[in-house]
């Protein structure tokens, strides 16, 4: 007798988001079941992985992850084109880390020029991320959003300290918005509500519950994402039905396991293989938890994750 798996039914549905300019758009979200449970309902889109690039050379990245981009990472336009052409990126995530006051303290005008140059060079969707300095990001992301007006980008991250400014800039220039809270489902829900009360469409928000890496709090991130997705599907909570972001690379490649030399810890084996595996496993865990959009760094880690997604769907 054939086995018939039991099926759950859900009352809610994750919003579908589309980014980019036709015909070069990508979609994510839209499922009405738990992650990868296509046998129970509709999963119309696979998770989207965006390659991370920066506006300045990634001097603080480990050599393992700098190596694939060594010939292009001194110029963000060349870097973006390399990801599009050589790596077949579906989306690019530009992190404007050079605007941070403790880095090069680049101006909003510099950030706007970088955004314009990249948009002129590529046709895949662009995610524009600040430096995570909430005060500086407020002015930087206004300029970046204006430079990318009507290109249907994702702007982020709006946080409690700057969400009014960042959300207004995204809304005025026809972009999607990342709303980031700090590993708390109630804070995440509250921020989504505050942003929608400004008139920003709830269907244009991506929730970032705040990421963490394998071995460095991933269980907490996983549980928060899981609770958000259950609230969206089981409780039909419209404030929790946004697609979720896993901003993985910036956390994974700070972990000691992605940097410690084999001669210092011989049982850990190859540094390159270890780092790639660390990023890939982190990404896969968060996809299973509910992330529909990921920002990653190493091409081989992304390749591994895409293969796993192929098998799971």
Q: Establish if 13 belongs to a structural domain.
A: no
Q: Establish if 41 belongs to a structural domain.
A: yes
Q: What share of the chain is helix, strand, coil (3-state, %, to 5)?
A: 45, 15, 40
What are the structure tokens assigned to 88, written together?
């077949």
3-state secondary structure of 305: helix
In the prediction, which pLDDT does 185 show? 96
Q: Establish if 305 belongs to a structural domain.
A: yes
Whole-prediction pTM value? 0.96
C-alpha closest to that of 205 among 45, 15, 12: 15
Q: Establish if 10 belongs to a structural domain.
A: no
What are the structure tokens assigned to 149, written together?
């007006």
Assess whether the previous peptide bond of 141 is cis (omega < 30° from 0). no
CATH number for the domain harbouring residue 264: 3.20.20.20
CA–CA separation, 159 vs 169, rounded Å? 14
Question: Per residue in 32-77, pLDDT tens?
Answer: 999 989 989 999 999 999 999 999 999 999 999 999 999 999 999 9
Other C-beta atoms closer than 10 Å to the C-beta of 73 total: 20
Q: Establish if 6 belongs to a structural domain.
A: no
Q: Label residue 183 exposed, middle or buried (CB < 10 Å: 0-12, 13-18, 19+).
A: middle
CA–CA separation, 46 vs 35, rounded Å? 10
CA 170 → CA 42, 117, 216, distances in Å? Answer: 30, 19, 32
Q: Establish if 1 belongs to a structural domain.
A: no
Q: Establish if 12 belongs to a structural domain.
A: no
Q: Establish if 156 belongs to a structural domain.
A: yes
**DSSP element (H, E) containing 220:** helix 218-234
Question: Per residue in 163-192, pLDDT tens?
Answer: 999 999 999 999 999 999 999 999 999 999
Asked whether the predicted pLDDT for residue 1 surpasses 80, the reply is no
In the prediction, which pLDDT does 154 show? 98
Q: How many domains would you assign to the chain?
A: 1
What are the structure tokens assigned to 184, written together?
């708390």
Q: Could you tell me the residue range of the domain that residue 288 belongs to?
A: 18-312
Average pLDDT, rounded, for the chain: 96
In the prediction, which pLDDT does 202 show? 97
């Amino acid at each position: 007798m054939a086995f018939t798996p039991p099926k759950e039914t859900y009352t809610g549905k994750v919003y579908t988001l589309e980014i980019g300019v036709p015909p070069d758009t990508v979609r994510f979200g839209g499922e009405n079941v738990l992650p990868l449970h296509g046998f129970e309902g509709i999963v119309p889109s696979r998770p989207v992985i965006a390659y991370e690039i920066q506006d300045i050379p990634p001097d603080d990245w480990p050599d393992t992850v700098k190596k694939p981009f060594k010939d292009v990472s001194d110029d963000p336009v060349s870097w973006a084109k390399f990801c599009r052409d050589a790596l077949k990126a579906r989306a690019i995530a530009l992190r404007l880390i050079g605007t941070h006051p403790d880095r090069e303290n680049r101006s909003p005008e510099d950030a706007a020029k970088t955004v314009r140059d990249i948009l002129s060079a590529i046709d895949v969707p662009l995610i524009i991320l600040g430096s995570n300095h909430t005060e500086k990001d407020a002015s930087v992301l206004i300029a970046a959003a204006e430079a990318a007006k009507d290109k249907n980008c994702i702007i982020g991250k709006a946080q409690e300290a700057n969400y009014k400014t960042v959300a207004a800039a995204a809304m005025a220039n026809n972009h999607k918005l990342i709303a980031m809270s700090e590993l708390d489902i109630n804070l995440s829900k509250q921020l989504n509500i505050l942003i929608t009360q400004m008139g920003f469409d709830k269907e244009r928000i991506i929730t970032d519950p705040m990421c963490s890496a394998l071995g460095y709090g991933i269980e907490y991130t996983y549980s928060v994402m899981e609770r958000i997705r259950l609230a969206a599907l089981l409780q039909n909570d419209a404030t929790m039905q946004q697609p979720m972001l896993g901003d993985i690379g910036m956390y994974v490649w700070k972990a000691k396991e992605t940097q410690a030399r084999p001669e210092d810890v011989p049982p850990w084996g190859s540094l390159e293989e270890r780092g790639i595996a660390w990023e890939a496993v982190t990404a896969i865990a968060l996809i299973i938890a509910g992330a529909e959009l990921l920002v990653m760094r190493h091409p081989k880690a992304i390749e591994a994750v895409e293969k796993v997604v192929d098998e799971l769907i």
